[in-house]
Amino acid sequence: MTKIIDPQRCLVIGEVAQSHDGSLGMAHAFIDAIANAGADAVKFQTHIASAESTPQEPWRVKFSKQDASRYDYWKRMEFTREQWHGLADHARERGLLFLSSPFSPEAVDLLIELNVPAWKIASGEVNNRPLFERMLQTRLPILLSTGMSSIEEVDSAAKLVADSSVELMVMQCTTAYPCPPEKIGLNMIPFFRERYGCAVGLSDHSGTIYAGLAAAALGIEALEVHVAFSREMFGPDVPASVTTGELKQLVEGVRFIEKMRSHPVDKDAFANEAAPLRNLFTKSIVAAMDLKAGMILEEKHLALKKPGTGLAAEKLPDLIGRRLLRDMQMDEQILEQDIQPYKELDH
């Protein structure tokens, strides 16, 4: 099974969130699409309306014409215990880690039953101490989102995890949907790594592949992106999502970047390996015109042309003022044996 936190490999998480719109079939289709894209994990959100919300919860954005209230929307997003088991089993059959963010103690208990390999704590739950401590009791790794948190709040959460001797990953996140480039916060990745001495990741809401690729170049251990089948889908997460096709491109890019970062280049060694190509692409000193033996070479007599199998271009100044020892035709390479040696030059 894929390790949750591996310094040698970025865990790419396809976040379904609410994009299934309450459809179990759609949720299963997302699992297949995310697996086909080459991601490592699929992540859902486990909402149990009566356990996490009240009918008075306001809309952040009134996007739904079919749900009278936010509570009604969360109710429509629920799956039964058996349906959740089916989703988790499907993910594992496709070689994916199954993750889901809980929003209530009841959701934590359900996810324990599903044998999730880690906890992704949504930024709105960072200060929910009872929920946090319930997850810590399982000893599973914590992936801590920081979208709505101050540094003081992240400090407190990180200390809580450290005091429990549980593995921690802090994920830079900005609560904006979609998130513009000036708010991505790549500067926080090295900051979190140094401050907490732990793995770091990016939970990206830009709706592009660019932020994830940039973060991969910084050596993150996890990248989470929201996924949609199309930007014409319905739901609050769609504007901040990449398409499944873009997810495939993103995964390929992350793996390409990892390979680059793990193979530092020795320029001298590569220059030696490139010797045959150097002969093709560099130039040699040749006769610029037909030349007669005994001539004293001037700059006008010489030219630089491919291939680079003769005297290198940087030696051209050394030939000026030296005597030619044999007749040469235009474009013929001039070699050391064709010119008067230095020791025989007239003084």
Provide the whole-model pTM.
Answer: 0.84
Inter-residue contact 202 to 172 (CB < 8 Å): yes
- Greater confidence, 134 or 232? 134
Q: How many whole angstroms separate alpha carbon 251 and alpha carbon 213?
A: 9
Q: And the tokens for 230?
A: 């199309």
Low-confidence winner among 125-129, 303-307, 341-345 (lowest mean pLDDT): 341-345
Contacts of residue 77, defined as CB under 8 A and 6 or more positions apart, other chains included, come to: 18, 20, 21, 22, 45, 47, 49
Low-confidence winner among 24-28, 49-53, 189-193, 223-227 (lowest mean pLDDT): 49-53
Q: How many whole angstroms separate alpha carbon 191 and alpha carbon 217?
A: 15
Give tens-digit pLDDT for 7-16. Answer: 899 999 999 9
Average the pLDDT over 273-277 and give the result. Answer: 78
Average the pLDDT over 219-224 and give the result. Answer: 97
Average the pLDDT over 198-224 and give the result. Answer: 97
Q: How many whole angstroms separate alpha carbon 248 and alpha carbon 240?
A: 17
Could you tell me the domains of the chain?
Answer: 11-261 (3.20.20.70), 269-344 (3.90.1210.10)
Q: And the tokens for 97?
A: 């880690």
Inter-residue contact 235 to 227 (CB < 8 Å): no
Inter-residue contact 223 to 186 (CB < 8 Å): no
Q: Supply the DSSP string of 218-253, one letter for each residue.
A: TT-SEEEEEEES-TTS-STTGGGEEEHHHHHHHHHH
Average the pLDDT over 243-268 and give the result. Answer: 95
- Single out the residue of 128, 220, 201, 223 nearest to residue 136, CA to CA: 128
DSSP label at residue 93: H
Handedness of CA 113, 34, 6, 120 (dihedral sign): negative
Give tens-digit pLDDT for 299-329. Answer: 999 999 999 999 999 999 999 999 999 999 9
Model pLDDT, residue 64: 65
